[in-house]
């Protein structure tokens, strides 16, 4: 993506509440500056307010609103960015009294996503998220719509027009959902084809800018777009990768996560994120050279929880070791759970990573023959769903299935196993 050429000047505002961790506040503000920059705005000044509770009407106090207004005038700022979620009324009140565009974190992220989307699927997902964001914020004044833009047409005042707008938007949302449903089905078919003959699938997930695409490129020569900006990747890319022992896996690069990722966005990106749900193994990629790496890992974990993928087998991959201190890397590797340190740039540690992946699939899957009574079709269906089937034959009233299964699934099907010979290989 080309960063938008017209640079807007922005004032960044943050409300700090008593429970907020100062380090987290600094990091979050720094991230907002990068998000703003990626979207095409330069933060000219940052204003922080400490308050015991948020002001219901405008989030920050009236005095602070005045101070921001003065700063906007002095700096000739085009917009004010809030490092907090604004309610619909707070947003419109602030916009009215400040006289310039007011955007919150969610809108900023949505704006970047809208600029980044290339494929039909990506564009549909972003539009769905935007419309879901706009719907509760529609007011008779129509200012809100104008500030988001996004192909829905210009707004006129009047309640009647508003109702029409709502209806049009709801219809469009239904339409997008239906189309995304179709895309999902198509994706499932593609996924099946893509993974044929592979011993497993691996998804790269992680904070935005952690180096997921760089890692995919380093492992597979995929030639995926890499950039030192946030959300370089929106659409998943899958590539085959050979393991040292000769087996092949399919690795998928996905959209990056960020803390406080808008909920609507996660829901809208369901088709894309299904690549993560469907993977056998997750590589949680983290930028170990980044100060806030632990917070970034927790943010990724919460998104994984949100999409119900947190229970999946996972290896933490600390990337960018070339740019990090040895002590930091050692400390991270000592944290509980399997982890390794790599550099997509210098290729350090990639061999170790591939060995770990190989070991996972070798220990995790066993090839067996199952003998299932023909009237227990649901059991046979489960084998297909859980494992990789090599052959199926019939013997009197039984179905014989030669398949490879993971340990937990094998446990559940133990009663049907007739031949357990891991030496047979794959």
Ligand X SMILES: Nc1nc2c(ncn2[C@@H]2O[C@H](COP(=O)(O)OP(=O)(O)OP(=O)(O)O)[C@@H](O)[C@H]2O)c(=O)[nH]1
Spell out the residues 6+ positions from residue 298 whose beta carbon is closer than 8 angstroms to its own.
none
> Do the Cβ atoms of 172 and 131 come closer than 8 Å?
yes
Which residues are at the interface with ligand X (CB under 6 A)?
206, 208-214, 226-228, 230-233, 256, 319-320, 322-323, 343-345
User: Nearest Cα to 386, choosing from 412, 424, 361?
Assistant: 412
Strand-pair partners of 319? 287
Integer distance in angstroms from the first to the last C-alpha of the chain? 42
Nearer to ligand X, 138 or 226 (CB): 226
CA distance 286 to 294: 9
CA distance 124 to 131: 10
Q: Closest distance between ligand X and the C-beta of residue 354, in Å?
A: 16
Closest residue (Cβ) to Mg ion?
233
From the list Mg ion, ligand X, none, which binds 343 (C-beta under 5 to 8 Å, kind-based)?
Answer: ligand X
Write down the least CB distance from residue 295 to ligand X, Å.
Answer: 16
Residue of 15, 117, 202, 232 that binds Mg ion (CB under 5 A): 232
Minimum distance from residue 217 beta carbon to ligand X (Å):
7
Which is closer to ligand X, CB of 291 or CB of 376?
A: 291
The residue with tokens 């914020």 is 137
Non-local CB neighbours of 87 within 8 Å, separated by 6+ positions = none
In angstroms, the CA 324 to CA 289 distance is: 4
Tell how far CA 358 is from the center of its chain.
25
C-alpha–C-alpha distance, residues 37 and 46, integer Å: 14
Among ligand X, Mg ion, none, residue 387 binds (CB under 5-8 Å by kind): none
Nearest one of 396, 391, 367, 366 to 380, comparing CA atoms = 391
Residues 6+ apart with CB under 8 A from 383: 370, 372, 389, 401, 403, 405, 413
Partner whose footprint covers residue 105, from Mg ion, ligand X, none (CB < 5 to 8 Å by kind): none
Closest to 209 (Cα-Cα) out of 302, 299, 307, 84: 299
Q: Per-residue contact track with Mg ion, 177 to 216, x per CB under 5 A?
A: -----------------------------------xx---
Question: 190-194: long-range contacts at Cβ-Cβ below 8 A with a sequence spacing of 24 or more?
Answer: 191/238, 191/275, 191/278, 194/238, 194/250
What is the token pair recorded at 50?
A: 């400490």
Please give the size of the binding site for Mg ion, defined by CB under 5 A: 4
Closest approach of ligand X to the CB of residue 214, in Å: 3
Residues 391-420 vs Mg ion: string with x where CB under 5 A? ------------------------------
User: With CB cut-offs between 5 and 8 Å by kind, which of Mg ion, ligand X, none does residue 122 bind?
Assistant: none
Minimum distance of ligand X from residue 35's CB (angstroms): 11
Stretch that binds Mg ion, among 71-79, 86-94, 230-238, 413-421 (CB under 5 A): 230-238
With CB under 5 to 8 Å by kind, the binding choice for 238 among ligand X, Mg ion, none is none
d(CA 362, CA 99): 62
State the minimum distance, in angstroms, from the CB of residue 300 to ligand X.
11
Q: Which stretch binds Mg ion (CB under 5 A): 31-39, 98-106, 145-153, 226-234?
A: 226-234
- Is residue 254 near Mg ion by the rule CB under 5 A? no
Strand 248-253 versus strand 200-206 pairing type:
parallel
Query: Which of Mg ion, ligand X, none does 85 bind, CB closer than 5 to 8 A by kind?
Result: none
Q: Which does 322 bind (CB under 5 to 8 A by kind): ligand X, Mg ion, none?
A: ligand X
**Minimum Å distance from CB 44 to Mg ion?**
29
Residue number with CB closer to ligand X (80 or 230): 230
Partner from Mg ion, ligand X, none contacting 366, C-beta within 5 to 8 A by type: none
Q: Name which of 343 and 369 has its Cβ closer to ligand X.
A: 343
Looking at beta carbons, which residue is closest to ligand X? 256
| Chosen residue from 233, 254, 289, 319 binding Mg ion by CB under 5 A | 233
Answer yes or no: are the C-beta atoms of 119 and 107 closer than 8 Å: no
Asked if 331 and 297 count as a contact pair (C-beta separation under 8 A), the reply is: no
Binding site for Mg ion (CB under 5 A): 212-213, 232-233
């Amino acid at each position: 993506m080309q960063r938008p050429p017209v640079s807007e000047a922005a004032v960044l505002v943050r409300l700090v509440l008593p429970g907020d961790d100062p380090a987290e506040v600094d990091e979050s503000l720094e991230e907002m500056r990068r998000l703003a920059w990626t979207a095409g705005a330069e933060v000219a000044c940052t204003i922080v307010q400490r308050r015991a509770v948020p002001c219901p009407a405008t989030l920050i106090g009236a005095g602070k609103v005045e101070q921001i207004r003065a700063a906007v005038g002095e700096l000739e700022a085009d917009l004010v960015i809030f490092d907090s979620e604004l309610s619909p009324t707070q947003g419109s009140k602030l916009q009215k009294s400040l006289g310039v565009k007011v955007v919150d974190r969610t809108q900023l992220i949505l704006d970047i996503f809208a600029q980044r989307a290339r494929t039909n699927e990506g564009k549909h997902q972003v539009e769905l998220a935007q419309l879901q964001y706009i719907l509760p914020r529609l007011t008779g004044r129509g200012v809100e719509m104008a500030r988001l833009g996004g192909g829905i047409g210009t707004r006129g005042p009047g309640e009647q027009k508003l109702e029409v707008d709502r209806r049009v938007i709801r219809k469009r949302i239904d339409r997008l959902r239906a189309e995304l449903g179709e895309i999902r089905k198509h994706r499932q078919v593609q996924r099946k084809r893509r993974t044929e003959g592979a011993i497993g699938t691996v998804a790269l997930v992680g904070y935005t800018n952690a180096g997921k695409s760089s890692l995919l490129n380093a492992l597979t020569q995929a030639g995926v777009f890499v950039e030192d900006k946030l959300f370089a990747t929106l659409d998943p890319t899958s590539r085959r990768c050979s393991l040292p022992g000769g087996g092949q896996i399919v690795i998928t690069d996905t959209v990056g996560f960020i803390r406080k990722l808008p909920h609507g966005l996660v829901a809208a990106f369901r088709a894309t994120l299904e690549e993560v749900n469907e993977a056998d193994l997750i590589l949680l990629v983290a930028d170990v050279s980044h100060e806030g790496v632990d917070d970034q890992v927790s943010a990724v974990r919460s998104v994984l929880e949100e999409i119900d993928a947190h229970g999946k087998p996972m290896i933490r991959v600390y990337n960018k070791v070339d740019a990090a201190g040895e002590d930091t890397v050692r400390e991270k590797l000592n944290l509980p759970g399997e982890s390794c340190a790599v550099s997509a740039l210098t290729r350090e540690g990639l061999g170790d990573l591939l060995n770990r992946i190989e070991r996972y699939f070798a220990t995790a899957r066993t090839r067996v023959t199952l003998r299932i009574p023909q009237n227990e079709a649901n059991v046979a269906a489960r084998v297909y769903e859980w494992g990789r089937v090599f052959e199926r034959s019939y013997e009197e009233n039984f179905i014989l299935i030669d398949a490879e299964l993971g340990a937990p699934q094998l446990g559940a099907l133990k009663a049907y196993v007739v031949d357990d010979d891991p030496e047979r290989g794959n």
